[in-house]
Amino acid sequence: MIRYLAAGAILAAMGAAFYSQGHQEPSQLVASYVTPLDGRSSAQRHNAELCAKKLDGTLIPAGGEFSFNKTVGPWSRDQGFRRAPVSYGGQLIDAWGGGVCQTSTTLYNAALLAGFRVVSRHPHTYAPGYVSPGRDAAVAYPNIDLRFVNRLPVAVVMHVRVVGDQLRAELWAKTGQRAKVEVWQRPVESIEPRTIRLSPEPRTWVRNPGKTGHIVETWRSVDGVVERLSTDSYPVMDRVLDGASHR
């Protein structure tokens, strides 16, 4: 099923005209990207999959701009989303739509590999574990959005779904209109976390596993034209141990 972008009647009309001329569902894979779901909570998986269903089948006309937030809408309870862990201020808290950012990240990387022009992309405060630092795309409705433009001369349809323990985003077109694309990271600095003990007790438990800090540049080559996409800084998060009696 093809869905047209809700960004405006002109884009919808362009997409409708394209498919009203006897064209079939696009059959040429332009780009795809996969992120792992293992280790995610059931609520995070639910939110990621619900978000994927809202995106699946969206058509982006040639030259059209895609907005993640306009397409998915608010990730609230009445839209079927659940409270799930999100990183906030260095701690994991439950919030509506936790896990949605994995879907935006997966789609962002497919868009990068398709050669699309990125209009708006934001990194997380701390690097998520399901993708390399510099390749994430945080979203928060309504202000923090992922937006990109289809630079191909043909319309593209996105297919986003959960397959086993993987979240997969694919971009399809009617013909093989693909650019030669490479994406890579250049590490600038890495900072390993310290271990902090909150109690002298010999028996401890891990209150916070910590995260390595990173400064990383992300680069892309599209048909030989090289550009720096971003320079992202992720602070280190210390590993925290507490006494067994405080658990």
Considering only the C-alpha atoms of the chain, give the largest distance between any 2 of them, rounded to a whole number of Å: 74
* pLDDT of amino acid 14: 41
- pLDDT tens digit string along 199-231? 998 899 998 888 899 999 999 999 999 999 999
Q: Does 219 fall in a domain?
A: no
- pLDDT tens digit string along 32-79? 999 999 999 999 999 999 999 999 999 999 999 999 999 999 999 999
- pLDDT tens digit string along 181-197? 999 999 999 999 999 99
* pLDDT of amino acid 244: 84
What percent of the chain has a predicted confidence (pLDDT) above 70? 89
In terms of Cα–Cα distance, which of 199, 227, 194 is closest to 211? 194
Q: Does 17 fall in a domain?
A: yes
Q: Does 221 fall in a domain?
A: no
Q: Does 227 fall in a domain?
A: no
Instruction: Kindly report the number of other CB atoms within 10 A of residue 125's CB atom.
Output: 14
- Averaged over 164-191, what is the pLDDT? 93
Q: Does 95 fall in a domain?
A: yes
* pLDDT of amino acid 21: 42
Q: What is the pTM of this model?
A: 0.87
- Averaged over 78-87, what is the pLDDT? 92
Strand partners, 156: 60
Q: Does 148 fall in a domain?
A: yes
- Split into its structural domains, the chain has a count of 1
User: By the 8 A CB rule, do 174 and 23 touch?
Assistant: yes
* pLDDT of amino acid 3: 60
Q: Does 183 fall in a domain?
A: no
Q: Does 15 fall in a domain?
A: yes
Mean pLDDT of the chain: 89
Residue bearing tokens 């891990």 = 206
Question: How many angstroms separate the CA atoms of 165 and 174, rounded?
Answer: 29
For residue 88, what are the contacts with CB-CB under 8 A and spacing of at least 6?
Answer: 95
| Domain span holding position 83 | 3-178
* pLDDT of amino acid 22: 44
